[in-house]
Each structure stands twice: as C-alpha cells, then as structure tokens.
Homo-oligomer: A and B are copies of this chain.
Amino acid sequence: MGGSGSEKFDHPYVPRDLKLEGYVPVFLSQSTIVGVYGVSSLLVFFLVWFLSGRSPKRSRIDRWLMCWWAFTGLTHMILEGYFAFSPEFYKDKTPFYLSEVWKEYSKGDSRYAARDAGVVAVEGITAVLEGPACLLAIYAIAAGKSYSYILQFAISLGQLYGTAVYFITSILEGDNFATSSYYYYAYYVAANASWVVIPTLISIRCWKKICASVASQSQGQKKAKTR
C-alpha cells in the first residue's frame, strides 16, 4: 500500500527527487478515473441539451454554450475546487474519486502533487470565482440577460489567462513534470487544450457581439440627434 516511508521516493512522479512523504498510490485504474469523468461530463451535456431544448426559440449555439458552461463550471467547482483546498490529497488512504483524479493527473504534471504555488493560485481563482460564474452564465443565457456576453467573455478570458500562467510557469521551471511523454501529451497537453480552444472561440464571438451592439447603439444615438 506504500506510504510507509521506508523508501525515500515512493511515488511515480517526475522529477524523481520530489519529496512526497506519506504518498499513497492510486487505487482506481486509469480507465475508471477517466471513464467516470467522461461519462459524468456526457450526462451533464445531454441533460443541459435536453432541458435547454424545451424553449423552441433558443438557438443551437446558445444550447451548446449552456452545455459547455455546465460542464466547465462543474469541473472548476468540483474537481479543481477539491484540489485547491486539499493540499494532502496524495496521502489519501481511501479510493476517494477526487483524490484519485489528482493522483492520476499528477503523472502528467507533478506540480499538482508538489503543490506549486502558481498552479494552486490559478486553480483557486478558477474554482472560487470562475466556477460559480459559469453557472451564472447558464442562467444569463437562459434568461436572455444583457450581461450574458460580457460575463461569458470575462470567464473565458480568465480561463485563458489561467492556462497561460499554467503553461508559462511550467516552461520557466524546466517543463519536466511528466512521468512519461504519454502522460505529458495525454494529460498536460490534450486535457488542457479544450480550455485554450473553446475560451478563445467564445471570447471572439462575445467580442464581436458586443462591438455590434455598441456600434448599433451609437448609430441609433446619431440618428436620434439628426432627426
């Protein structure tokens, strides 16, 4: 069961000289850990897609966005929230799903187990501020609130800034935190890619929508003056 402290570096992570006293190995298989996340995410997507479809006026893109905000918001609050406030997850002696997730993910980026300050800061901001804001975005879209675009823009920009800090600090610190190149590409690169691509697309869309509104309002004001 490990964690007895008899071996000095009793963990699978890189760099090998990382000290993690009391480390308890992961219990669940990779397919179980990734599978539970994948299936839960699909369930969230289908549920929000189904519920949002009950209003016939709602566009497909708005429904898709509501699914995204539900998925990313719950990921921020539950998964990343657990990490941000559980400095000793790697010592967990039970197969508790959320600590298993981070034990497994640390194979792609050991800074999670090592509690790198940059990673914890970004995950904390993401969990505490952006997570609830994502759920608010679902409501804003559903209710057609005037702050819908600017809120989605703000969260997406926060996600992009967080991902930028995440990758840049890794490069500055030597980019040597993955157990193997498989975990490097599967966890560190691929799992984070969605939070680069999707927030970029949403930011561009919101930017355009907002500029169009501002332009149309100022044209309206000019017309009103000319009359």
What number of copies of this chain does the assembly contain? 2
- Give Cα distance in the complex from A216 to B161, angstroms: 31
Q: Does A1 contact B (CB under 8 A)?
A: no
- Give Cα distance in the complex from A220 to B147, angstroms: 17
Query: Which of chain B's residues have a CB closer than 8 A to the CB of A162?
Result: 161
Query: Which of chain B's residues have a CB closer than 8 A to the CB of A118?
Result: 117-118, 121, 165, 169
Given A117-B118, A216-B220, residue A210 in contact with residue B165 (CB < 8 A):
no
Say which residue of B169, B206, B211 sits within 8 Å of A121 (CB atoms). Answer: B169
Given A125-B164, A125-B168, A161-B161, residue A217 in contact with residue B217 (CB < 8 A):
yes
Say whether B117 contacts A172, CB under 8 Å.
Answer: yes
A sample of 6 inter-chain contacts (CB < 8 A) reads A118-B121, A146-B214, A147-B214, A150-B211, A158-B161, A165-B165
